Every structure is written in C-alpha cells, then in structure tokens.
Amino acid sequence: MGYEQQARDAGVNLDMKLIRPGNFDSVVGVHDMLYVSGSIALADGGGGIKHAGRLGDDMDVTDGQVSARGAGAAILASVHQHLGSLDRVERVIRLTGYVTSNPGFNDQPKVINGASDLMIEVFGDPGRHARSAIGVAELPFGASVEVEAIFQIRPRSR
C-alpha cells in the first residue's frame, strides 16, 4: 500500500484547504529536499484553526497531541498538494514543533509526539526523524501547536 492510501487510512484529508497568511511559500523544494513551512491544525472545511489555547492552562497533553497530529496532517496535505503524491517521499528528515505553553509546562516533547506518531503511521520506518520540541509564549492565530518539516523526496518518474 502506498503512502497516499496510508495517509487517507490515518484520517488525513490530503485535499484540505490550507492557510497561507503571508508572502511565503508553504513548501519549497531544493534538489531532493522538501522544506515545509510551519503548519497548524486546521478546522474541518478550511474555516480557520482547529485547536487554540495554551498547554498547561486551556489544554492538557492529550489535547496537545491531537493538535500536533492535526498540524502533521496539514503538513502531509501541503506535501501532497505540492508533489501530487506522497508516494514520492523517500523519508521524513526532521520535524520542529512549537507548543504554546505556560511557564513550568515541560511536556512539549510528549505533545509533539502527536505529529511524530502520524509520520510513522503513514510512512513506517522512513517516517522516523530528528526532532525538536520548543515551548513558546504565543503562536499565530492563537494556535496551540505549530510544526514544520523537512522531507527527502524521490525524483519524478520519467
């Protein structure tokens, strides 16, 4: 089974409407590398963000993991829409996760597991990656979690 189907089986809407609120590209490819801008969990139907709040205050670790998984889903949709297929992904290289957190909240790595687990669910062993999980005071739109990614991709078939 290909990565496209595995993503859909994991509940990812690869055709979701994505938000690009600035003068930048959501995905940039250089040689065999694909850099995906910070992504947040989006509301069903593309009406904005899905999970606003602060970990350690409005949300617990489980809620944060759901938000991180949603950010991972937005990343996969971005890659799919840029490449035309997730099946061109060779491997996930790196995720960087930002978690809106109260002072004293130090479970950012547990929160970002939501995105990491999705990558491994979709890609299997090639979904294993290097990662950072960083606590921040605020994120755009009041989002609880933002995740950016780097992928290695296969060349187009001829």
Cα separation values, 120 from 93, 124, 139, Å: 12, 5, 25
Is this structure's pTM higher than 0.85? yes
Domain ranges of the chain: 3-18+33-153
Domain 3-18+33-153: top CATH class: alpha beta
Q: Which residues contact 73 (CB under 8 A, 6 or more apart)?
A: 11, 12, 13, 16, 41, 118
- Residue-wise pLDDT tens for the chain (158 aa)? 799 999 999 999 999 888 777 788 899 999 999 999 999 988 776 667 788 899 998 899 999 999 999 999 999 999 999 999 999 999 999 999 999 999 999 999 999 999 999 999 999 999 999 999 999 999 998 999 999 999 999 987 65
